[in-house]
Amino acid sequence: MIGIDTSFLVAWAVPEHPQHRECRALAAETAQRGGTFGLTAGILAEFVHVVTDPRRFAHPLDMERAMALAGFWAAAAEVVHLPHGPEVTALWLDWLNHHRLGRKRLLDTLIAATWYHAGIQEVFTLNPADFNIFDAFTFRPQPSGSP
């Protein structure tokens, strides 16, 4: 299973994103070979927030389109919805304390703890720096100036 980060979904969804085609191709190739994607509701919420933000894109998605794409991912047969049980919460708190992370790293750390607990080792993200500190994942694709 491959973890899907918000940055990857944003590039996949927004045609003006410089890595749009690359992320579309990588997702399609992975699905065609039978791969599965680990996704959380928090990532979908963040996705909708980002793709509808006119400060980030010249042509942001409207809310209806953003929700339709979130629904597409939520219902996809290739997607496994990852739970946030007590084990994830314990790991999240441990990593926050161990790495001395502050409030701006809360969500990334929760996402990383969720992936880790699900056994995910590969993550599709354009922001590997958000997760490098946990020394638990490999990343694709390589970032190239994402907004």
| pLDDT (average), residues 116-123 | 96
Within-domain flag for 92: yes
Q: How far apart are CA 123 and CA 137, in angstroms?
A: 7
Domain ranges, residue 33 = 2-140
Q: Note whether 123 and 111 are within 8 A (CB).
A: no
Within-domain flag for 98: yes
Each residue's pLDDT tens digit, 25-68: 999 999 999 999 999 999 999 999 999 999 999 999 999 999 99
Within-domain flag for 8: yes
65: three-class secondary structure by DSSP: helix
Tokens matching residue 45: 């919420």
Q: How far apart are CA 16 and CA 34, in angstroms?
A: 28
Within-domain flag for 54: yes
Within-domain flag for 116: yes
Within-domain flag for 147: no
Beta-sheet pairing, 2-4 with 79-81: unpaired
Within-domain flag for 145: no
> Per-residue b/e over 17-31, b at no fewer than 16 CB within 10 Å?
bebeebbeebbeebe
Q: How far apart are CA 137 and CA 5, in angstroms?
A: 12
pTM greater than 0.75 (yes/no): yes
Q: How far apart are CA 104 and CA 59, in angstroms?
A: 27
pLDDT grade, residue 144 (50/70/90)? low
Q: What pLDDT sits at residue 147?
A: 45
> Domain containing 54 — which CATH number?
3.40.50.1010
Q: Looking at the 3D structure of the chain, how many domains does it have? A: 1
Within-domain flag for 146: no
